[in-house]
């Protein structure tokens, strides 16, 4: 339920971590996380960008009631985003609980209903009335589909979804119509980047209707060799086909990345080890570090962990640092506003403390 004491849940969210952080999912040497989101709207009510305030309120309240009454949402929390500061909203984006679109939205009654494990999250009054998303670590698209499908069915018992036999689920933007489904995987591809083999692969992916994006999805930059691959086509394919295809594409890229890693190890083992340990050295000693540099070095360290060259660190720690070093997360942790140079100092301090907990 929406808490009046936003400091309370904010503190909680700064301390808690999502399931995908644990880095234990299948094929997590390359796949950081898998995600599915479904775009859903309610029949005949104008889409959020075109709706009146009372429509938005109505939708928010329907979800509020559902969250209170339906047992499936027992462990969910509902946030009303109206009164959140830009920093708090940015923090939720960095935690992958809301989208950039949801954070930048101007209309009232934007909400976020998320579960304790931070695997499931329903954005209310985003671009569509509802955006249901589910994230797990590693390559687990089928499992995610099972869980998100169940949540979707439960909501569908209460609300009358906008749906047509021919066009499927009707969405605010025609690029999402049909299944309303966007399935994606976050891949760590340092070896393919290093050996300049990625462009060829990306070309092939685009030709079969898949898209590559940055760390936060649409319109964001690629950082730390992390690439998000997702389906572009949502109409004329079933949900299972979309998932199957994405999984096949992912497995092929994983295979290529693993091959590239073997090639690197074969031909440039000393160089590679040097790069990884240097990254470790800088991260554990730096006093000032930008997010771009930190992400680059963390990518090298992650590769070191994935190749079992570095054993004193695990993927969970790297995922956790990667999240916490972001601008809003840093400021929420510090409980004060920090300018860019203050953040670089704070970031270096946080990374040192996480990487060598004994020395600090």
Positions in the binding site for other proteins (CB under 8 A): 41, 43-47, 49-50, 127, 149, 152-153, 156-157, 160-175, 177-179, 181, 199, 202-203, 206-207, 209-214, 218-222, 232-239
Closest distance between other proteins and the C-beta of residue 212, in Å? 6
Closest distance between other proteins and the C-beta of residue 171, in Å? 8
CB-wise, 43 or 61, nearer to other proteins?
Answer: 43
Closest distance between other proteins and the C-beta of residue 178, in Å? 5
CB-wise, 88 or 94, nearer to other proteins?
Answer: 94
Residue 40 β-bridge partners? 130
Residue 318's closest CA among 6, 18, 22, 7? 22
Structure tokens given for 235? 């109409």
CB-wise, 166 or 308, nearer to other proteins?
Answer: 166
CA neighbours within 13 Å on the CB side: how many for 155? 29
Closest distance between other proteins and the C-beta of residue 118, in Å? 25
Locus of tokens 């299948």: 26
Long-range Cβ pairs for the range 217-220 (8 Å, 24+): 217/99, 217/100, 217/184, 218/100, 219/100, 220/100
CB-wise, 19 or 154, nearer to other proteins?
Answer: 154
Closest distance between other proteins and the C-beta of residue 39, in Å? 12
CB-wise, 222 or 307, nearer to other proteins?
Answer: 222
| Inter-residue contact 26 to 141 (CB < 8 Å) | no
Residue 148's closest CA among 162, 135, 161? 135
């Amino acid at each position: 339920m929406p808490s009046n004491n936003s400091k309370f849940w904010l503190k909680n969210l700064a301390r808690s971590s999502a399931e995908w952080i644990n880095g234990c999912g299948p094929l997590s040497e390359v796949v950081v996380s898998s995600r599915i989101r479904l775009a859903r709207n309610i029949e005949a009510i104008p889409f959020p960008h075109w709706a009146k305030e009372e429509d938005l309120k109505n939708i928010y309240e329907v979800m509020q009631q559902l969250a209170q009454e339906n047992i499936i949402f027992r462990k969910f929390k509902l946030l009303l985003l109206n009164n959140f500061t830009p920093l708090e909203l940015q923090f939720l984006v960095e935690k992958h609980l809301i989208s950039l679109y949801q954070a930048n939205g101007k209309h009232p009654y934007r909400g976020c209903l998320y579960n304790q494990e931070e695997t499931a999250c329903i954005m209310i009054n985003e671009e569509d009335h509802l955006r249901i998303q589910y994230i797990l670590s590693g390559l687990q698209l089928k499992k995610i589909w099972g869980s998100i499908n169940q949540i979707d069915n439960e909501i569908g018992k209460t609300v009358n979804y906008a749906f047509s036999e021919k066009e499927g689920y009707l969405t605010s933007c025609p690029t999402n119509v049909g299944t309303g489904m966007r399935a994606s995987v976050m891949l760590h591809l340092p070896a393919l980047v290093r050996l300049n083999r990625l462009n060829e692969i990306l070309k092939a992916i685009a030709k079969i209707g898949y898209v590559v994006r940055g760390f936060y999805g649409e319109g964001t930059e690629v950082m730390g060799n992390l690439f998000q691959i997702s389906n572009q086509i949502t109409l004329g394919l079933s949900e299972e086909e979309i998932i199957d295809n994405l999984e096949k594409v992912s497995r092929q890229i994983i295979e290529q990345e693993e091959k590239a890693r073997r090639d690197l190890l074969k031909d440039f083992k000393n160089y590679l080890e040097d790069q990884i340990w240097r990254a470790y050295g800088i991260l554990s000693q730096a006093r000032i570090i930008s997010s771009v540099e930190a992400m680059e070095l963390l990518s090298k360290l992650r590769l070191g962990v994935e190749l079992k060259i570095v054993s004193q660190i695990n993927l969970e720690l790297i995922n956790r640092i990667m999240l916490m070093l972001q601008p809003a997360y840093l400021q929420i942790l510090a409980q004060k506003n920090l300018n860019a140079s203050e953040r670089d100092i704070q970031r270096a301090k946080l990374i040192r403390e996480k990487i060598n907990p004994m020395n600090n």
